[in-house]
Amino acid sequence: MAGVVKRQRKSGRVPGEWALPVTAAVNGIGTGMYVPFTLVFFHAVTGLSFPVVGAVLTVTGLVGIGALPLAGTAVDRYGAKRMLHVLYAVRVVGFALYPFARSLTAFAVVALVTAAADRAFPAAQQSLIGEVARGAGRDRLQAATRALQNAGNGAGALLATLVISLAGSAGYSYAAWGNALSFALAALLLRPLRPVRTADAAAAPRRAGAGYRLVLADRPFLIVTGANFLNALSYSALSVLFPLFMVEWLHGPAMFTGAAFTLNTVLCAAAGVFVGARVRRAGARRTRAAALGGSLFATAFAAQIVLGTVRPDSGTVLGAALAAVVTVYTLGELIHSPAAEVLAVSAAPEAVRGRYLAAYQMSWSLAKAVAPSLFTGLLALDGRAPWAVLVATSAIAAVLLVRVERRLPAEAVRPLPPQVTVTGAQDGPSAEPSPRPSAQPSAHPLTPVGTALEGARS
C-alpha cells in the first residue's frame, strides 16, 4: 500500500481522478440545456408570464446566495464529495418538478431550492479539487475540469435546440427532465473518486461562526476575493453587455452575438487544457497569471471602446474586429480562471476550506447580481461607458493580485510539483485545525496548505 501511495504522489493522480472533468462535462450538458434560454425555458415549462418568471428568478437567485455560508460549513463538516451528491440530488428533484410547477408559489419554491443548490455547487466543486490534488496537480485538474465543462455547455445548448426544434413547446419539458437526468448521471460518475483530507488536517471549528470569523479576519484572502469580484464582472460582459452593445450601440446584426458565444465556447473547450499547460510549464505565479488574464480582459474592453467610437459600417470589418476582441477576451479567461480559482483553493486553510471558498464564491454571485443593472445603466449614458468601467475594474484587480502575493502562503502563489493525499479514510468529517504555515515563503515549500491556523494572516 505504501508503494501505491508513493507512486500516486509522484504522479499527482489518484484513482478515479478522471471522474472530476468527466462529471463536469456531464454537468455542463445539463446546465447548457437551459442557461442560454433561461427566461423562455422557464416560461415554457411553467406557463407563467415572462415578467413573473424574471422577477422570481432574480429574487430567488439573490436569496439563494444566503445558502453559501451553510454550504461552506457543511463541506468542512461532511466533505466536499458528500455535499456535491446532496447538491446534485436537489437539482435533480428541482428540474424534474419544474414542468409541474404551474402556480406562482410552486415555481417560487422550486426555483429557490434549485437556486440555492446552483449557488453552492461551485464552492463544493472547488473544495473537492482541493481535497484531491496538491501543488501543480490542482492547476492541471482545474484546467481540464473547466475545459470539459465548457464543452458540455456547448453540447447542452445544441442538444436543447435540437429537442425543442423537433418536439416544439413540449421540448422544453423534455429538456428539463433531460437536465435532471444529466445531474443524476453526474452524481453517479463521481462515485469512483475517493478524496480524503491529509493526516495533519483536522476538523473545522464546531460552530460555523468560528470558521467565518477566520475568513473575515484574513485580509489577504479578502483582497483576493475582492479582486475576483472585479474580474467576475468581466465574465458577465459577454453574456449581459455584449448583446446589448451590439444591437443598441453598434447596430450590428444579432447573429454576431451568437457567433461570439460560439467562438468563446469552442476556444474554451478546445484550448483550455493547452493554455493551462503552457502557463504551468512557464512556472508563472498564480497571482501573476490571474493578473495577466485580467490585463487581457482590459485590452479586449479597450478595443470595444475603440469599436464603439469608430462604429464601422462594413459588416465584414465589424465581424472581424469582434472576432479578434472575443479571441483576446477568451485567452484572458483561459489564463485567469484556472490560476484565480486554484489560488483561492490553495490560500484557504484546509480545515475550513469550505467556508473560505463559500466566501470566495460570494464574489461570483454578487457580480452576477450586480452586472445587469450596472451595465444597462451605464449603457444608457454612453455605449462605451460600461467598457471603460470594466477596463478600470480589470486593471485594479490585476494590481491587487500582484500586490497581495507576498502576504499569501508561498505554496498558494507558486504551483509546486503535484502531491496527492491518499489514505484509507472515507471522505467524512475533518479533525481539529492544526497550525497554519507562515504567509511568507518558507523553507519547506511542500508543507500542506492549512496545517496551521495561527490566527488569520495580516
Q: Which domain-ending residue is among 198, 224, 255?
A: 198
Last residue of a domain, one of 149, 166, 198: 198
What's the CA gap between 103 and 446, in Å, rounded?
Answer: 56
Residue 200 in this model has a pLDDT that exceeds 60: no
24 and 65, same domain (yes or no)? yes
Nearest residue to 90 (alpha-carbon basis) of 59, 116, 128, 60: 116
Helix axes 219-236, 286-310, angle to 10 degrees: 30
CB 108 within 8 A of CB 60: yes
Q: Is the pLDDT of residue 236 over 70?
A: yes
Domain assignment of residue 160, yes or no: yes
238: cell is 459577454
Residues 254 and 283 in one domain: yes
Q: Are residues 347 and 254 in the same domain?
A: yes
Of residues 230 and 131, the one with the higher pLDDT is: 230
Q: What is the mean pLDDT of residues 177-200?
A: 81
Among 324, 311, 345, 185, CA closest to 264: 324
- Residue 90 has what pLDDT? 95
C-alpha span between 298 and 209 (Å, rounded): 37
Give 259-326 as a DSSP string.
HHHHHHHHHHHHHHHHHHHHHHHTT--HHHHHHHHHHHHHHHHHHHHHHHHH--S-HHHHHHHHHHHH
The pLDDT tens digits for 442-452 are 333 333 333 33
Among 165, 198, 231, residue at a domain's last position: 198
User: Over 60: is that where the pLDDT of 1 sits?
Assistant: no
Please state the φ and ψ torsions of residue 310, each to the nearest 5 degrees. Answer: -75, -40
Are 124 and 246 within one domain? no
115 and 43 within one domain = yes
**Mean pLDDT, residues 145-173 taken together:** 84
- Structural domain contains residue 156: yes
On whether both 218 and 357 belong to a single domain, the answer is: yes
Poorest-pLDDT segment among 245-249, 404-408, 438-442: 438-442
Residues 29 and 85 in one domain: yes
φ, ψ of residue 29 in degrees (nearest 5): -60, -45
Say if residue 203's pLDDT is above 80: no
- Residue 454 is assigned to a structural domain of this protein: no
Q: What does the pLDDT read at residue 424?
A: 40
Mean pLDDT value across the chain: 82
Residues 117 and 70 in one domain: yes
DSSP state of 439: S
Looking at the fold, whether 211 and 97 belong to one and the same domain comes out as no
Q: What is the residue-wise DSSP string for 168-179?
A: TTHHHHHHHHHH
Least confident span in 116-120, 146-150, 184-188, 205-209: 205-209
Domain count, the chain: 2
Range in 3-7, 256-260, 378-382 the model is least confident about: 3-7
What are the pLDDT digits (tens) for 297-330? 999 999 999 999 999 988 899 999 999 999 999 9
pLDDT bucket at 14, cuts 50 / 70 / 90: low
- Single-letter code of the amino acid located at 315: G
Q: Is 453 inside a domain boundary?
A: no
pLDDT level of residue 360 (50, 70, 90 thresholds): very high
Same domain flag for 191 and 229: no
Cβ of 135: how many Cβ atoms within 10 Å?
A: 21
What are the CA-CA distances from residue 351 to residues 197, 200, 356, 359 (Å)? Answer: 9, 9, 10, 15
73 within some domain: yes
Q: For residue range 63-97, what is the model confidence (pLDDT) as tens digits?
A: 888 889 999 999 999 999 999 999 999 999 999 99
Task: Report if residue 315 sits inside a domain.
Answer: yes
Containing 142, the helix (H) or strand (E) segment is helix 136-167
Task: Look up the domain containing 172 and give its range.
Answer: 15-198
Let me know whether 172 and 217 are in one domain: no
Say which residues have a Cβ less than 8 Å from residue 55's Cβ, sequence separation at least 6: none
Residues whose CB falls within 8 Å of the CB of residue 247, separated by 6 or more in sequence, listed in order: 254, 257
222 assigned to some structural domain: yes
Q: What pTM value is reported for the model?
A: 0.81
Q: Is residue 1 part of a domain?
A: no
pLDDT interval class at 261 (50, 70, 90) = confident
CB 356, CB 348: distance < 8 Å: yes
User: 168: domain CATH number?
Assistant: 1.20.1250.20
pLDDT for res 185: 94
Percent of the chain with pLDDT over 90: 44
Locate 103 and state its grid cell: 402556480
Contact 271, 403 (CB under 8 A): no
**Type of residue numbered 24:** A
For residues 337 and 198, the model is more confident at: 337
- Residue 196 pLDDT: 59
The helix (H) or strand (E) run that includes residue 358 is helix 353-381
SS3 category, 214:
helix
* Domain identity same for 286 and 317: yes
Report the distance separating Cα 147 and Cα 274, nearest Å. Answer: 10
Give the contacts of 261 (CB within 8 A, at least 6 positions apart).
36, 238, 239
